[in-house]
Structure 1
Amino acid sequence: MATIRDIARKSGYSVTTVSRVLNHQKYVSPAAKAAIEAVIEQLDYVPNSLARDLSFGQNKNIGVVLPHNDHPYFNQLLNGIMDAAFSSGYHIVLLPSEYNQTIELDYLEQLKRKNFTALIFASHGLALSVLEDYTRYGQIVCCENPGQHHISAVYSHREPAYLAAFNYLKIQQVTQMGLLLSRNSVQSPTWVAVTTAYQQVFSCQPDAKLMIGGMRSFEDGYHAAKHLIAQQPTLNCYFTNGDDIAAGVRQYHLDHQLAPPLLIGQEKQLSSLLLKIPTIDHHFFTLGQKAFAVALSNHHQICRFESEFILC
């Protein structure tokens, strides 16, 4: 592949003069311009747009770090980001991580090398302190409450909606409950928010034997119900991290001639509307739109959206 130095050598002009022609700058004689353009065409030279953008400080790539994309949270968030990006002239680059800290650190190093204008972390395996350390190299937006860390953030305030949902279940006189979560880990802000709200309402910690992480789909909900019913045949209430997951739980009960359980879903999916399952709307699409806007900003910002418990 031809380089700018090849053009300079073949045309007989300096690299600086060739660069001026390539970047449509002034101070190049018509004769020099014609000669250089003839060599460019002869060599079929194609400019390196990334290198050119970096030289002018015009990188147009926004990286979105996703652990996976098979949960409505990430789908809705990404849809909001893409919607905001369409008319902006910026490119959205998906960066899969599976919560692998080594991979996430590599993305941060790419931000340091100016491969990205900004990074949006939909979720992360690295500590917030590590993300904070890299904010010196470019805008970083996390999608959770950063607490004392100086990181721009756009997040849903989930706790009041969780409290409303658990209080609703308490009024229904629920005494035992399956908790189906995305990550069954103290490192997960969602896990912490759910278990904290549960303890406030029921004055005890949830039963660890009735908690399952890794829930992403209808099939996951179906198999989780099978597992929990085997342990606790009388279990008839589930708090889930997605409406489709709740629908899977419901279907297992129906398929095995069990009474439909009391369910709470999340994300306001079509399944909650069709099956009339109470749900929690975290407004992730709008959150994604705002995350993109903050990513383009050079200023530290904290934006909070209020989650909403919806009784169908």
Structure 2
Amino acid sequence: MNIKQIAKKAGVSVATVSRVLNHPENVAPDTKSKIERIMTEEGYTPNWFARGLNFNKTRTIGLMIPHILNPANMEIVKGVEDVAHQKDYITFMCNVENNVEKEKQYLESLIQRKVDGVVLISSHLDASLIEDTYDHGVPVVLIGENKDKPNIPGVRIDCCDAAYKAVKYLMEIGHTKIGILYGDTPRIENLRKVEGYKKALRDAGVSVNDNYIVKTTNDIEGGYIGGKKFAEMKDMPQAVFATSDSIAFGVIDAMKDNEIKIPEQISVMGFDDIKMSNLIEPKLTTVVKPHHKLGVVGARLLFDIMESVELDDREAIDKQRTTEILLEAKIKIRKSCKHTDRLQEMFPSK
């Protein structure tokens, strides 16, 4: 049964039924009760999309992820989805596959579909393009490094500082020859990690060896290829810091194929702490990135902005437009580094 049939059975206009659904305070109590009773008897469910348009709301948000095959992204997605579900919102998930043109197309499509807000994870889009979405009344929140987008709200960890602490730890356990294997995506985050790597070495008075800085694809295959390069060096590094756990898995595999023992001959450290890092052998020492919390906090920030837009609270909107929330990373020590006899967590100093 549709709204017209409800109106006919109740002996009222379609407009009156619409007011019961959208503005019940403007309908006489007896008429309202009659229409609601008929809806209940007939099992009528309002069209959520059409009803949302009456409020200029669709109760949907867009979520764009760099690549669906990256397991680290899935925990962020779950965090966003958990909050959206609590708010009774539907999430449209878009897999942009690290392609800026595809990301642009998805953003345009989400705007055309009148989503109430968008979460971008490690976005490749220019800041000006993202800011334009506000002109369409669609708030955007970034998850990931966003220092090149200062006027867009976001949540992130300090990748430079996290990498700095990781390399500092490797030096504390006796390594001075440390290589870094960094992924091609997400570009900004990985460049920040390289910055942190170099800064840690320089602050410790250790010269930076360009041969130890190797770029690869952000996956196991890329880690394997990069690991082979390190394994075949005449002056092999004592430790390898990989900018993702997936890369680190490939490094471990490459070292095994070259009969190089971990951690006796070389230490391997990752970044992310995805679930698999505790299952491989040796178990991976890694930087813990709080993926789920990043998703939860990012989604909550988006809903705060959306509510401010709904209330037309310009002061709150302007304040939130420059909001940046910084979460801390920590190091989880397992057996792929020099210490093989203990498992602990190191929390960064404030």
TM-score bin (small chain): 0.7 to 0.9
Give the deviation of 1:74 after TM superposition: 0.7
Q: CA deviation at 1:57?
A: 3.1
Distance in 2 between residues matched to 1:76 and 1:206, nearest whole Å: 34
Distance 1:148 1:66 in 2: 18
* 3-state SS of 1:211 partner: strand
CA 1:71–1:241 in 2, change beyond 3 Å: closer, same or farther?
farther
CA distance in 2, matches of 1:279, 1:127: 31
Matches within 5 A, 1:139-154: 139-143=139-143, 144-147=145-148, 149-154=150-155
Aligned to 2:274: 269
Percent same amino acid at aligned positions?
26
Q: CA deviation at 1:91?
A: 1.6
Contact 2:120–2:142 under 8 Å retained in 1: yes
| Residue pair 2:181, 2:223 contacting (<8 A) in 1 also | no
Q: Give the whole-Å Cα distance in 2 for the aligned partners of 1:287 and 1:19.
A: 39
**Match in the other structure for 2:219:** 216
Alignment of 1:191-202 (within 5 A): 191-200=190-199, 201-202=201-202
Structure 2 match to 1:254: 256
Who is 2:240 aligned against?
A: 238
State the distance in 1 between where 2:292 and 2:30 align.
Answer: 53
User: What is the identity, as a one-letter code, of the residue corresponding to 1:79?
Assistant: K
What SS class does the counterpart of residue 126 from structure 1 fall into?
coil
Q: Report the Cα offset of residue 84 of structure 1.
A: 2.7
What does 1:45-60 correspond to in 2, within 5 Å? Answer: 48-60=47-59
In the TM superposition, what is the alpha-carbon distance from 1:121 to its structure 2 partner?
Answer: 0.5
Amino acid in structure 2 at the alignment position of 1:193: R
Q: In the alignment, which of 256, 278, 290 is matched to residue 297 of structure 2?
A: 290
Q: Does 1:225 align with 2:232?
A: no
User: Are 1:278 and 2:282 matched, yes or no?
Assistant: no
CA distance 1:212–1:89, shift in 2 (3 Å): same
1:288 CA drift (Å): 1.0
Residue 8 of structure 1: CA displacement? Answer: 8.6
Contact kept, 8 Å, 1:198 with 1:205, in 2: the verdict is: no
C-alpha separation between the residues in 1 aligned to 2:60 and 2:209?
44
C-alpha distance in 1 between matches for 2:149 and 2:21: 47
1:304 alignment counterpart: 326
Q: 1:92 maps to which residue? A: 91
Aligned twin of 1:174: 177
- The aligned amino acid for 2:119 is I
In the TM superposition, what whole-angstrom CA distance separates every residue of 1:262-303 from its partner, at most 9, and x where no partner exists? 211111234444534321112121111101100101241321
Name the SS of the counterpart of 2:295 in structure 1: helix
One-letter code aligned to 1:155: R
Is the 8 Å Cα contact of residues 195 and 206 (structure 1) preserved in structure 2?
A: no
TM-score by length of 1: 0.78
